[in-house]
Amino acid sequence: MRIDSHQHFWNYDPVTHAWINSQMEVIKKDFLPSDLAPILKDSQMDGCVAVQADQSEKETDFLLQCAKENPFILGVVGWLDLCSEDIEQILESYSKYPKLKGLRHIVQDEADDHFMLRPSFLRGISKLEAHGFTYDILIYPKQLTAAVELVKMFPKQRFVLDHIAKPVIDGNIDGEWQRRIQELGSSKNVYCKVSGMVTETSWNAFDNRDFHPYLDVVFKSFATDKIMFGSDWPVCLLSAPYSRVLSILNEYLKQFSEEVQNRIMGLNAQEFYNL
C-alpha cells in the first residue's frame, strides 16, 4: 500500500488561515478531498493521512468528516488542546472516532522554544498513549533540543517528526540540526516524515539533487522502517506540483531495495498510524 502520510484540506478563510500571506496566492483557496483524489490516483497512491492546519476542535471535526465521506483518507492527525485541564475527558470523547490517529500542535509558531517542555503540555502528552494516539512534532531546528528532551521523557509514546524539522535547504548542512536529527533517530519511538522540504528552498528553483545531502542525514539517523513519505500538499504547491515532490524521493530511493522503498512509501505510515 502506498500512502501519503502528510497533507491538508481546508475551506480557505483569511482569518483562520492568516499564515497564508501575500506571497502565497496559489494556496489562497479551498483545497478539498475532491481536489486531491485525482492527484493521488495519477501518482498511484492508495490513500493519505490528513493533518490539521488550524488549531481548533472545529478543524479536527472537519477532517474527521472528510475522512468519513472519503475512504481514501485513511487517518486524521487533528488538534486538541493538550494544555487543557480537561484533556483526559477531551481525549476520551474523541477516542470514539477510529480514524483519529494522532494529534499535532503548531509548535513552530510558539515564541517559547521550550514550549513542549511546559508542565501543562507534558501532562497532555502523557495521556496520549492510553488512547493509542500518536503525536506529530512540528518544529523549526531551533526547537529540536526541546524535542529531544520530550521524546526521552515518553519512551512508549509514538512520535513522528514532520518535515525533517524544516532546515533551510541551501546546500549548507547545519551541524546542530544534523546532531539533533541523529539524536531523535536513535530513539526507537520516533519516526520521521520526508515531507515539506520544497518550501524550505528557493521556490520553483531547485534541482532534485539539492535535497540529497539532507536526505542522507535523515537516512543515516533513522532506520528505514521509521521513515515515511509525505507530500505536504497543498502547501507544496508554493514551490512544486505533487508529481515533482514525489519524484524527489523516488529518485533518491533508487539506491534501496524494493522492500525498503515499499516501507517508506506506505508500510511505515500504515504501521505507525495503525491504518
Q: State pLDDT tens for residues 199-232.
A: 999 888 899 999 999 999 999 999 999 999 999 9
* CA–CA dist 254, 228 (Å, integer): 15
Please name every residue paired with 193 in a beta bridge, in sequence order, or none if there are none.
228
In tens, the pLDDT along 146-205 reads: 999 999 999 999 999 999 999 999 999 999 999 999 999 999 999 999 999 999 998 888
Q: What is the mean pLDDT of residues 30-51?
A: 98
- Kind of pairing between the strands at 190-194 and 159-161: parallel
Domain boundaries along the sequence of the chain: 3-272
Residue 191 Cα to chain centre, angstroms: 10
User: Of 129, 137, 197, which is closest to residue 166 (Cα–Cα)?
Assistant: 197
* CA–CA dist 82, 114 (Å, integer): 15
Reported CATH class of domain 3-272: alpha beta
CB pairs under 8 A, 24+ apart, for 23-30?
Answer: 24/238, 26/237, 26/238, 27/234, 27/235, 27/237, 27/238
How confident is the prediction for the chain on average, in pLDDT? 97
